[in-house]
Chain A
Amino acid sequence: AQSVSQHNHHVILSEAASLELGCNYSYGGTVNLFWYVQYPGQHLQLLLKYFSGDPLVKGIKGFEAEFIKSKFSFNLRKPSVQWSDTAEYFCAAPQERGGNKLTFGTGTQLKVEL
């Protein structure tokens, strides 16, 4: 079964700083990958997703993620964070190849300070 690892549990940045959150998954080949975000007091929502094609995926609010097959990674990036990006971020992948059940990483709590 798939496992998803997020190595940064808590990240604190100043506004305008660049962000990169790490995500590694355990098995390769064709895999769908997701980043979800949970803003304070809000429900979990999709930030971006990779299914196939261009390994650089653009999401909402200026976020992007790069799928690097050789490294089993799908890191989330944003060139310049804003205070409103304060949230918890989760990386996810299907539990089994082609399956519908998602396995989530432990999450990264991002705090952006003014």
Chain B
Amino acid sequence: SQTIHQWPATLVQPVGSPLSLECTVEGTSNPNLYWYRQAAGRGLQLLFYSVGIGQISSEVPQNLSASRPQDRQFILSSKKLLLSDSGFYLCAWSPGLAGGGTGELFFGEGSRLTVL
């Protein structure tokens, strides 16, 4: 069966420090990968979307970047964190084109980032 993991679960970082959140998927190949940010009262906002290695689509202007160095690995990064980057970040996957897919997403456990 497929599983998705992201880490760290909790992170407290000073303003201006770098960030790296990692997400990996097991049990599937060529998944679509997503990074969402969840903010209270604002739902889930799609940040990045990837259909394959090295293929990243940025959905909103921001201080963050994403990379996909391997098929089932998705990394969310920042060179210098801002206070406004605080939030709950969710990684998700869905079957790629070859795997069929109905739009359903499967989410990781989430990473709570606090920037001080």
Interface with B: A14-22, A56-64, A69-77, A99-107, which one? A99-107
Q: How far is the CA of A106 from the CA of B44 in the complex (A)?
A: 7
In the complex, which residues of chain B have a beta carbon less than 8 angstroms from the beta carbon of A103? Answer: 46
Known contacts A43-B110, A44-B90; A101/B104 CB under 8 A: no
Encoded as 1 (CB less than 8 Å from any A CB) or 0, chain B from 90 to 113 comes to: 100010000001111111111000
Contact B43 A105, beta carbon cutoff 8 Å: yes
Alpha-carbon distance between A34 and B104 when the two chains are bound, in angstroms:
8
In the complex, what residue of chain A is closest to B42 when comparing beta carbons? Answer: A106
Is A83 engaged at the interface, CB distance under 8 Å to the other chain? Answer: no
In the complex, how many residues of chain A place their beta carbon closer than 8 angstroms to a beta carbon of chain B? Answer: 24
A39 to chain B, nearest CB (A): 12
Q: How many residues of B contact A (CB 8 A)?
A: 22
The residue from B43, B49, B106, B108 contacting A101, defined by CB atoms under 8 A apart: B49
| B103 adjacent to A94 (CB under 8 Å) | yes
Give, as a whole number of angstroms, the nearest-CB distance from A88 to chain B. 9
Measured CB to CB, the closest approach of chain A to B105, in angstroms, equals: 6
Query: Within 8 Å of chain A (Cβ to Cβ): is B61?
Result: no
Other 17 A-B pairs with CB < 8 A, given A92-B105, A102-B103: A6-B43, A9-B41, A32-B102, A32-B103, A32-B104, A34-B104, A43-B108, A43-B109, A44-B90, A45-B107, A46-B106, A90-B43, A94-B103, A100-B49, A100-B94, A102-B105, A105-B43
